[in-house]
Every structure is written in structure tokens, then in C-alpha cells.
Amino acid sequence: MIKVILWSLFLLPLAITGSPKTTAQKLKSADRLTEEIIALERSALDLWFTGDPQGFLNLYAPEVTYFDPNQEKRVDGLEAMKSLFSRVKSPIIDPRYEMVGAKLQRHGDVALLTFNLISYGKLADQPETVLARWNSTEVYSRTNGKWKIIHSHWSYLKPEVKRPVL
């Protein structure tokens, strides 16, 4: 009887929390997914900073929605994104960026990537400077085994808010 009680005390926590191996496997899987999604995002950003939007266009799902502070309203769909990005021209020399504080949260076949982005570069004959500081939210969805962005939201980090004159 004592053996049964002792075995129950040992096995009950494992039944509730899962075996240590299962938990470790879940953590490794989460780490791999985080690395995979961040690699997708960095690949698109690397192209973007050379003036090529194709990295993001390849990541966007057909039904993508997009917000950024330079647009008056939400942009809907991949075709609209292609049109928007066809106007992108970059006068920036030696661009680079830092992705800061990236965090991935997965919920089934949806993954939410949030991070801050600091972009640097030179304009004309000026020294390198910080060009912009961004908050970014990218919502990825896994469809047919591939992760695609279904929503993208960019905003300025601590933007200068102009108060109305009364």
C-alpha cells in the first residue's frame, strides 16, 4: 500500500505537468520556431534596407492587412501592398538596422512577432544617423506548412505628438 501511495505521489506531478523530456522538447520547438520566424523577418528586412520590398511581398499572405503611420488608412491585400511598395525609393546610403527585443508568441497556427527596429543610414554627404525608431507587430499564420504574414503594423517609437492649438 505504501508503494502505491509513493508511486502515486511521484507520478501525479508528471501527469499534471508532463514529463521533463516533453517539456524540454516543447521549449526546443518554441526556440526553433522563434529562430525560424525571426530569420524570415530578418531576410525580408535585409532586402528592404537595400531598397527591395520583394522579401516582404514574398512573406505576405494574399489577404494581408497593413498599417503604418504614413498611410491614411489600412492597406488591404497583397495586390495593394505591391502597388504601395512600387513607389518605395530610398535615398539612404549604407543603411543598416537593429532588431531589438524580439518576442514571439505562438497560438496554434498563428504566431505574433513583436520587436523594435532602429534604422540607421547616411543621407547625401551626412554622417550616419538614426533615421527612425519603430514598433513592429507582425502576425504570421501557418498555411500549408509555410508561415506567412497576415497582418503587419508599424508605428513610430515615441512619436512627436502635435497638440491642437486652442
Question: Could you read off the pLDDT tens digit of each residue along the chain, which spans 166 residues?
Answer: 444 433 333 443 444 445 555 666 666 777 999 999 999 999 999 999 988 999 999 999 999 999 999 999 999 999 999 999 998 777 778 899 999 999 999 999 999 999 999 999 998 888 999 999 999 999 999 999 999 999 999 999 986 667 777 7
User: Residue 26: what pLDDT?
Assistant: 62
**Domain around 26:** 20-156
Residue 54 included in any domain: yes
Residue 79 included in any domain: yes
Residue 5 included in any domain: no
Element at 62 (helix H, strand E) = strand 60-67
- In whole angstroms, what is the distance from residue 139 CA to residue 111 CA? 6
Query: pTM, whole model, 2 decimals?
Result: 0.79
Are 154 and 135 contacting, i.e. CB atoms less than 8 angstroms apart?
A: yes
Residue 162 included in any domain: no
Residue 12 included in any domain: no
CATH of the domain at 33: 3.10.450.50
Residue 85 included in any domain: yes
Residue 64 included in any domain: yes
- In whole angstroms, what is the distance from residue 153 CA to residue 127 CA? 30
Element at 54 (helix H, strand E) = helix 54-59
User: Residue 158: what pLDDT?
Assistant: 82
Residue 3 included in any domain: no
User: Residue 1: what pLDDT?
Assistant: 47
User: Residue 66: what pLDDT?
Assistant: 98
Provide the number of structural domains found in the chain.
1
- Pick the closest to residue 124 from 97, 101, 90, 73 (CA basis): 90
